[in-house]
Amino acid sequence: MAGARPGDDRTAPLVHTAGPTPRSATVLDAAEVSRALTRIAHEVLERNKGPEGLVLMGIPRRGTHLARRLAERLAQVEPAFDAEACTGSLDVTLHRDDLRRNPTRTPEPTRLPATGIDDATVVLVDDVLYSGRTVRAALDALSDLGRPRAVRLAVLVDRGHRELPIRADHVGKNLPTSTAERVFVHLAETDGEDAVLIEGPTERHAEGEER
Amino acid sequence: MRHLLSTADLSRAEAVRVLDVAEQMAATQQREIKKLPTLRGRTVVNLFFEDSTRTRISFETAAKRLSADVITFSAKGSSVSKGESLKDTALTLQAMGADAVVIRHGSSGAPLRLARSGWTSGAVLNAGDGTHEHPTQALLDAFTLRRHLVGGGPGGGPAADRVGADLAGKHVVVVGDVLHSRVARSNVHLLHVLGARTTLVAPPTLLPIGVETWPCEVSYDLDAALRGDVQGPVDAVMALRVQLERMDAAYFPSAREYSRRYGIDAARLALLPPHASLLHPGPMNRGLEITAEAADGARSRIVEQVTNGVAVRMAALYLLLAGEDA
Amino acid sequence: MTTTLVRAARPLGAEPRDLLLRDGLVAEVAPAGTLTAPDGARTVEAEGLVALPGLVDLHTHLREPGREDAETVDTGTRAAALGGFTAVHAMANTAPVADTAGVVEQVWRLGREAGWCDVRPVGAVTTGLEGQRLAELGAMADSAAGVRVFSDDGKCVFDAVLMRRALEYVKAFDGVVAQHAQEPRLTEGAQMNEGAVSGVLGLRGWPAVAEEAIIARDVLLAGHVGSRLHVCHLSTAGSVEIVRWAKARGVDVTAEVTPHHLLLTDELVRGYDPVYKVNPPLRTDDDVRALRAGVADGTIDVVATDHAPHPVEDKDCEWSAAAMGMTGLETALSVVVQALVEPGHLDWAGVARVMSQTPARIGRVASQGGSLQVGEAANLVLVDPAARWTVDPSAMATKGRNSPFAGRELPARVVATFWEGHATVLDGALATARPAEAGSTWTR
């Protein structure tokens, strides 16, 4: 039985340290990550004309943490918003179309918010938007769970190179990259610090979940 | 993982991973829409040289829930019963493009032979071979036990409390025809690797020579084992199917004597701590190794085992087929 | 007939000698470098090679008649020659069973026609190997084949009365009953040695006691009626003990062991590869040690191959459906060197004893099993003790591909085999068959 491979951080969280090297450059520091999230929170409320019917669904693993942070910010601005009841996580592993191109991933739990998602405005939250395949899988997964009134997409970083007709409604930072570069999002919950890093092409095919 | 042939091949991490994936699979089966697109386009062949409606349906359901194409090949009425060899059957399946072969065979070792022979390039999943192993049964037993014994307590708390956990410190009594039981063999390996203690209870005639080398304790006295006199308090008891034909071969004198000495009834269950569970791999011989009262009682997880079987087999198929080609 | 000078071979591992083979006999033996080849003689340079008397196998399945898809007398005796054998005893479990003078004469004649070695048919003890009635043992003994060894091998002569009668009856013509010791009830459906491995693998066990109980009974019977008894393929430590005890009591019993039981154990079954399925089954390390010790101290008299070729389809399947048996003629000597000579249990004279002289004596093959003395029949094999080779079943002469030693590197290689002066093997390859009409005075 082939186990998790080192570097696939969905199956083996330990090895994320195999990610960015000292040569990587910081694109967003902790304060900038925080400001970006605050701005997205305001945009979400503005777009929805208030907190009514809003549900945040994070895509594991870092999207889940980002969704929780966004929900906390929404609740600060709109005390009527029940952050705990309106936040969930949506695992998309079983809906991915690229499973066979990667080592086997262990699915993460999907947690529906207490309010459910039927007729809600679901904001999908993820750390990096790249090919768009994760979001496609998320839309499929979501449709198996219910029928939202609308689905929106919030990401901390949009690094371009879309392979599907998908765009984000709310973006923390647009980050022009080449496909040879690699982007790492670090969050305090998983990595001990908040930061977005970018790393240039390397000789070695570095391991770690590149986005 | 390339094949699933024996629980003896599984490390603790691999076994726990199967259980963890099965937790997520089980969660998807609580939904209104149970079907997932995960294995779309992949072909799973169920190759059943022995009749086993329960196991076959469980695997079929698991594969279909993951959107795999399922071909079922039963020995009865097919070329297999007309003397076609395992090799030729396997070559046929290979030609049909089977990505995975789920095989149930009366000959111990047939799945391993299939996996190593080069007759098929697909993943081989042992669905029970002779008196050797039945790994998915042991995995679903472990899954059921983990749900009841770890984390949230009886009935199972949130899955998150169990994910990553093994069965360390738990004690399982397995009683019945160990000699002819593939379920017992798979469970002894798996419970050991998951950190549990196992006590096998059977009449000496129904224990294999060499059982003392297995990672478990052995007792001829069911009541002593259930009272905790052998390896301490018991967290679960698993009754194995006993075939009446064994009586003819002098393994035990009569059904009545067997039931009296080794059958599970309400009085024996009362020897157990309140939280302890009762398992049976099915199909049951009610009145022989288990009474109806015990089988249908509050401790019984027998129906739940069937449900969990689908989730565990989904997990096994997922882990064998979803990742990149080895 | 060709005259051959074998130069500087070491007879039975002793000091180098030149041997002149002429008219099917060992004509001269002299210190190395002292003989010159007569005109027209072939010279075989044998410096560094060990010369042994031609090997005699007491236990070979040639499959003909009936299973020519598995082996024929011709292919089986080619394999024998390549393995250094100049005589093989062809077991009786053919179809039809070799239980009449007609069948044993047919096999004997096929051997002569093939011309690769002496083929000595074994006669069945009971008709059809069915364990019910004695076969016509005397007719087989009196036939052209001159049968002296009788066996239901593959099946046990289980009926104690029948066994007693057979032991008694063959005394009339100096025959011997070779028993396949297997208690049938204890081994119904048995698949492998019963022990820790069979328990884990879920394969029905074949207990040692099923063999030992029959041997114990038979040595007591043989002692009681004063007959000689030969026990086929001992496989357990307990069997060795029983035979040792019987010999100490003066019972006229001889015992054999196969090369594979001297080297392989039931651990190999863990992969369920039917190439390791054999009757009696591979046993444990302790058994292997006891068998080796039994050969070393003379309790076990002979090594016999139990060469049992099977067609590919009979092994290319799941374990329980597979046939039992292994090929062995072409690997026997090498395995004996590895299992017995290298660890110091036997020297070359010992190899000659257990693989040639004693089996010839048990089988009453007068022309075989000599000691390379002047005047003996020129049956000899030249062995390169320093050679190492890797077993490749597809390169063998036997039709059987079921060698358990496939892929293993083994020591010692047969370089040349001479059957009554005729070179059947030269330079490690088949030379020529002996023309049938050339039959010598030595062969009945």
Residue C163 has pLDDT above 80, yes or no: yes
- B187 & B289 share domain: yes
A113 inside domain: yes
Q: Is the peptide bond before C280 cis (omega within 30 degrees of 0)?
A: yes
Residues of B in contact with C191 (CB under 8 A): 108
Give the integer Cα–Cα distance in Å for C120 and C367.
12
Among C306, C314, C316, C427, the one annotated catalytic: C306
From C200, C316, C321, residue closest to B107, measured CB to CB: C321
**Any chain C CB within 8 A of the CB of B197?**
no
Give the integer Cα–Cα distance in Å for A126 and A91.
11
Which amino acid appears at position B176 of this protein? G
Instruction: List C residues 260-299 in contact with B (Cβ-Cβ < 8 A).
Output: 271-273
Is there a contact between A109 and B159 if contact means CB atoms under 8 Å apart?
yes
- B147 & B287 share domain: yes
CB neighbour list of residue C330: distance below 8 Å, 6 or more residues apart? C79, C82, C83, C396, C397, C398, C403
Residue with tokens 């401790």: B299
Which top CATH class is C53-362?
Answer: alpha beta
Note the pLDDT of residue A169.
Answer: 97
Is there a contact between B110 and C319 if contact means CB atoms under 8 Å apart?
yes
Give the integer Cα–Cα distance in Å for B83 and A171.
65
User: Is C306 known to be catalytic?
Assistant: yes
Chain-centroid distance, C-alpha C110: 19
A37 inside domain: yes
Give the integer Cα–Cα distance in Å for B282 and B301.
11
- B279 & B169 share domain: yes
A8 inside domain: no
Strand-pairing partners, residue B278, are B237, B300
Q: What's A98's domain CATH number?
A: 3.40.50.2020
Q: What's B13's domain CATH number?
A: 3.40.50.1370
Give the integer Cα–Cα distance in Å for B201 and C119.
56
Domain with CATH 3.20.20.140 in chain C: 53-362
Is there a contact between A144 and B31 if contact means CB atoms under 8 Å apart?
yes
CB neighbour list of residue C169: distance below 8 Å, 6 or more residues apart? C134, C137, C138
Is there a contact between C272 and B182 if contact means CB atoms under 8 Å apart?
no
Is there a contact between A95 and B21 if contact means CB atoms under 8 Å apart?
no
Query: Partners for B (CB, 8 Å, 3+ pairs)?
Result: A, C
Q: Tens digits of per-residue pLDDT, C187-227?
A: 999 999 999 999 999 999 999 999 999 999 999 999 999 99
Could you give the 3-state DSSP secondary structure of residue A205? coil
Phi-psi region of C96 (alpha: psi -120 to 50; beta: other; left: phi over 0): beta
- B217 & B277 share domain: yes
pTM: 0.91
Residues of A in contact with B326 (CB under 8 A): 2
B103 inside domain: yes
Average pLDDT, chain C: 96
Please count the structural domains in chain B: 2
A4 inside domain: no
**Any chain C CB within 8 A of the CB of B107?**
yes
Q: What domain range is B60 assigned to?
A: 7-133+307-321
Note the pLDDT of residue A10.
Answer: 37
Q: Tens digits of per-residue pLDDT, C70-115?
A: 999 999 999 999 999 999 999 999 999 999 999 999 999 999 999 9
Note the pLDDT of residue B79.
Answer: 58
* A to B CB pairs, distance under 8 Å: 73
B326 inside domain: no
Min distance B171 CA to chain C CA atoms (Å): 21
B162 inside domain: yes
Q: What DSSP string runs through B87-138?
A: HHHHHHHHHHT-SEEEEEESSTTHHHHHHHHSS--SEEEEEEETTTB-HHHH
Is there a contact between B14 and A95 if contact means CB atoms under 8 Å apart?
no
Is there a contact between B21 and A110 if contact means CB atoms under 8 Å apart?
no
Min distance A13 CA to chain B CA atoms (Å): 12
User: Mind listing the pLDDT tens digit of every residue in chain A (211 residues)?
Assistant: 433 333 333 333 333 344 566 678 999 999 999 999 999 999 999 999 999 999 999 999 899 999 999 999 999 999 999 999 999 999 999 999 988 888 888 999 999 998 889 999 999 999 999 999 999 999 999 999 999 999 999 999 999 999 999 999 999 999 999 999 999 999 999 999 999 999 987 544 444 444 5
Is there a contact between C202 and B209 if contact means CB atoms under 8 Å apart?
no
Strand A121-129 and strand A54-58: pairing? parallel
Cβ-based interface (< 8 Å): residues of A facing B: 1-4, 11, 91, 94-95, 99-110, 140, 144-145
The lowest-confidence range among B70-79, C255-264, C425-434 is: B70-79
B1 inside domain: no
What is the value of ipTM here, to two decimals? 0.93
Q: Mutating which of C186, C200, C283 best tests the B interface, going by the most B Cβ atoms within 10 A?
A: C200
From B11, B37, B324, residue closest to A100, measured CB to CB: B324
Residue B35 has pLDDT above 50, yes or no: yes
Is there a contact between B318 and A94 if contact means CB atoms under 8 Å apart?
yes
Note the pLDDT of residue A24.
Answer: 84
Q: Tens digits of per-residue pLDDT, C19-62?
A: 999 999 999 999 999 999 999 999 999 999 999 999 999 999 99
Note the pLDDT of residue B247.
Answer: 77
Residue B234 has pLDDT above 70, yes or no: yes
* B to C CB pairs, distance under 8 Å: 79
Long-range CB pairs of C130-133, under 8 A, 24+ apart, other chains included: C131/C155, C131/C156, C131/C157, C131/C158, C131/C159, C131/C162, C132/C162
Is there a contact between A2 and B20 if contact means CB atoms under 8 Å apart?
no
- B294 & B235 share domain: yes
| Fold of the domain spanning C3-51+376-430 | Urease, subunit C; domain 1 (2.30.40)
Note the pLDDT of residue B73.
Answer: 84
- B18 & B144 share domain: no
Q: Tens digits of per-residue pLDDT, C311-354?
A: 999 999 999 999 999 999 999 999 999 999 999 999 999 999 99
- E strand or H helix that includes residue B182: helix B182-193
Q: Tens digits of per-residue pLDDT, B70-125?
A: 998 887 656 555 567 888 888 888 888 899 999 999 999 999 999 998 888 999 99
Residues of B in contact with C195 (CB under 8 A): 209-210
Nearest CA in chain B to C205: B209
Per-residue pLDDT, averaged over B154-176, amounts to 85
Give the integer Cα–Cα distance in Å for C4 and C46.
12
Note the pLDDT of residue B325.
Answer: 61
Note the pLDDT of residue B245.
Answer: 78
- B272 & B313 share domain: no
Average pLDDT, chain B: 92
Please count the structural domains in chain A: 1
Note the pLDDT of residue A209.
Answer: 47
Domain with CATH 2.30.40.10 in chain C: 3-51+376-430
- B173 & B147 share domain: yes
Q: What domain range is A61 assigned to?
A: 30-175
Residue with tokens 């269950």: B269
Query: Partners for C (CB, 8 Å, 3+ pairs)?
Result: B
Q: C293-314 burial by CB neighbour count: b if 16+ within 10 A, else e?
A: ebbeeebbbbbbbbbbbbbeeb
Structure token digits, residue B249: 């071969």
- B312 & B295 share domain: no
Min distance B290 CA to chain A CA atoms (Å): 36
Q: Mutating which of B126, B209, B218 best tests the C interface, going by the most C Cβ atoms within 10 A?
A: B209
Q: Are there at least 3 beta-carbon pairs closer than 8 Å between A and B?
A: yes
- B270 & B217 share domain: yes
Residues of C in contact with B208 (CB under 8 A): 198-199, 205
Query: Partners for A (CB, 8 Å, 3+ pairs)?
Result: B
Residue B123 · residue B114 · CB < 8 Å: no
- E strand or H helix that includes residue B303: helix B302-321
